[in-house]
Structure 1
Amino acid sequence: MTSGFLSALGGRIAERWLAALALPGLLFLSAVTTAVVLGQEHWSDVDRLRAWLDTLAHSPASRSAGTVVLVAAGALAGAAVTGAAAQSLGTGVELLWCAQAHGPVLRYLADRRSRRWRAADASFRTALVTAGRARIEGTDHADRLADIAERRCADRDRIAWAPPRHPFWTGDRLAAPAQRLWRAHRLDLAAAWPHLWLLAADGTRAELQAARLRLTAAARLCAWGAGYLVLALWWWPAGLAGVVAVASGVRRGRAAADAFAELTEALADLHLRDVATALGVECAGVDDRVLGERLTRLLRKERREA
């Protein structure tokens, strides 16, 4: 039984290694080889690439089994190293997405997003008041004004779901649940999160972990795209792949961050009273805001004493 478990575990690890590191690394090394052989001047010369491959195939070294094994092992090792580098760069991309507004550049980006959000929020509130007044007066264009208010709200939410504090959308989206839960329930999400996680069902945890892994995979895709953009300096078609990879990575990262934030906020909304019950805090007939304040005081005290 143990050997079977270890075999299955080794198989899954090998599959993940191939999917995450080896295959993308081999593809990138193939692009590097193509760039070196063709360059910018002969970027579309397929015959030149075919002739180079034929020369390799007919060389005396290619008939040696040992040489073939060494080349294959070197290619796999190079792919693994390249994949590991992309993984590290992907971690950097993820950290950048969630970075605080430190430094002049990041502060400028955060301030710019904050100004845009405040302007969109003011526009939404003005449209909302206008629509409400028209509804009260019973004017014919009340429905049209309500639609305008909804569009203004959507425009504001596309910038951020809460007042922006980060340079990039992903950071604000991931921070939005904590801000919204504090305003709604006076709940410190950072202090309550370990308790919420322990009370969550296995299916909920799996969904959260899957969204988190999708965010990491999206950042890694952006890292691969950056590598192809650099490679475009020697072979410009690689830039097309880089642009597609970066754009796809950003889109997938936003979707993953949105899903993770939605699940986090839903988990807190659904299990606020469960946490109170587990900690022995009276919650029967207590308003959520009052209950959140009690939990926050209790959990922050436990964290300070720890």
Structure 2
Amino acid sequence: MTSAFLSALGGRIAERWLAALALPGLLFLTACTTAMVLGHDHWSDVERLGTWLDSLAASPASRSAGTITLAAAGVLAGAAVTGAAAQSLGSGVELLWCAEPHGPVLRYLADRRSRRWCAADAVFRTALVAAGRARIEGADDAARLADIAERRHAERGRIAPAPPRHPFGMGDRLAAPGQRLWRAHRLELAAAWPHLWLLAADGTRAELQAARLRLTAAARLCAWGVGYLVLALWWWPAALVGGVAVASGVRRGRAAAGAFAELTEALADLHLRDLAASLGVEWEGLDNRALGERLTRLLRKETEAP
């Protein structure tokens, strides 16, 4: 029984290692080899690549089983190292997405997003006032102006759902639940989160973990894209792969960040009174704002003044 369990566990670990590190690393090493053999001048010369492979297969070393074994082990090790490097770079991308505006570059990006949002907000408010005036006056183009105001609202929302504070949209999306919960309930999400997590059902935890893993996978995809963009310095078709990977990773990251933020906020909204009951806080007769203040004070381990 134990040996069967260990075999199954080893198979799962090997499968995950192959999917997460080895296969993407092998593809990248293949692209690197192609880039070195063809370069920019012969970027589509398949015959040149075939000739190089034939010469490699005809070499005396290719007839030695030991040499082949060492070469295969070296390729797999190189693929694993490349995959681990991409994984580390993906963690850096994820941290960058959620970074605070520290330093001149990040502060400039955050200010730029804030200016864009303020400009879009001014345009939306102008369109909203025009649509409201037309509806009050019974103008013929009231419906058209209302549609324009809706489009301007959507354009503002694509920048950020609220005035942006981070250099990138993912940071604002992930910070939005904490801000909204503080404004609505005076609940500090950072202090309450471990307790809310313990109160959550298994299905809710699985949904949150899946959204979090999708965000990590999106950042890793961007990291692979950056690697292919660097490889394009020697073989330009790699830029196409890198551009698609980065664009897809950013799009997936936005969707995953939005899903994780919505699930986080929903968990806090649904379990606010459950949290109070589990902590022994009386909530009868209290509105959510007063209850949130009491919970925040308790979770911060603050004491009332004597």
Q: Could you say which TM-score interval applies, normalised by the shorter chain? A: over 0.9
1:195 match: 195
- How far residue 194 of structure 1 moved from its aligned partner, in angstroms, is 0.7
CA distance in 1, matches of 2:106, 2:45: 43
- The 1:293–1:134 alpha-carbon spacing in structure 2 relative to 1, beyond 3 Å, is farther
1:63-114 per-residue CA deviation (whole Å, 9 max, x = no partner) reads 1111111110000000000111111111111111111101111101101111
1:277-305 per-residue CA deviation (whole Å, 9 max, x = no partner) reads 111222233221222122112212269xx
Letter matched to residue 212 of structure 2: R
- How far residue 216 of structure 1 moved from its aligned partner, in angstroms, is 0.8
2:159 match: 159
Matches within 5 A, 1:124-163: 124-136=124-136, 138-163=138-163
1:199-228 per-residue CA deviation (whole Å, 9 max, x = no partner) reads 111111111111111111111111111111
1:96-147 per-residue CA deviation (whole Å, 9 max, x = no partner) reads 1111101111101101111121222233334444444554555554444433
- TM-score scaled by length of structure 1: 0.94
CA distance in 1, matches of 2:53, 2:22: 22
1:112 match: 112
- How far residue 175 of structure 1 moved from its aligned partner, in angstroms, is 0.6
Does 2:76 correspond to 1:79? no
- How far residue 148 of structure 1 moved from its aligned partner, in angstroms, is 2.9
Find the residue that maps to 1:21 and give its secondary structure: helix
Does 2:97 correspond to 1:97? yes
1:236 match: 236
Q: CA RMSD in A?
A: 1.7
| Unmatched runs of 5 consecutive residues or more in structure 2 | none
CA distance in 2, matches of 1:61, 1:242: 35
- TM-score scaled by length of structure 2: 0.94
1:148-180 per-residue CA deviation (whole Å, 9 max, x = no partner) reads 332222222111122211100111111111111
- How far residue 58 of structure 1 moved from its aligned partner, in angstroms, is 1.4
- The 1:294–1:133 alpha-carbon spacing in structure 2 relative to 1, beyond 3 Å, is farther
Find the residue that maps to 2:70 and give its secondary structure: helix
- How far residue 50 of structure 1 moved from its aligned partner, in angstroms, is 0.4
CA distance in 2, matches of 1:270, 1:188: 15
- The 1:120–1:65 alpha-carbon spacing in structure 2 relative to 1, beyond 3 Å, is same
CA distance in 2, matches of 1:237, 1:60: 33
Letter matched to residue 230 of structure 1: V
CA distance in 2, matches of 1:210, 1:171: 19
Matches within 5 A, 1:217-232: 217-232=217-232
2:285 match: 285
CA distance in 1, matches of 2:138, 2:285: 39
- With 116-125 and 156-165 compared, the bigger mean Cα shift is at 116-125
CA distance in 1, matches of 2:263, 2:178: 12
| Unmatched runs of 5 consecutive residues or more in structure 1 | none
CA distance in 2, matches of 1:139, 1:294: 51
Matches within 5 A, 1:293-304: 293-301=293-301
CA distance in 1, matches of 2:133, 2:281: 44
CA distance in 2, matches of 1:144, 1:181: 35
CA distance in 1, matches of 2:272, 2:128: 31
Does 2:25 correspond to 1:13? no
CA distance in 1, matches of 2:132, 2:290: 30
- How far residue 48 of structure 1 moved from its aligned partner, in angstroms, is 0.8
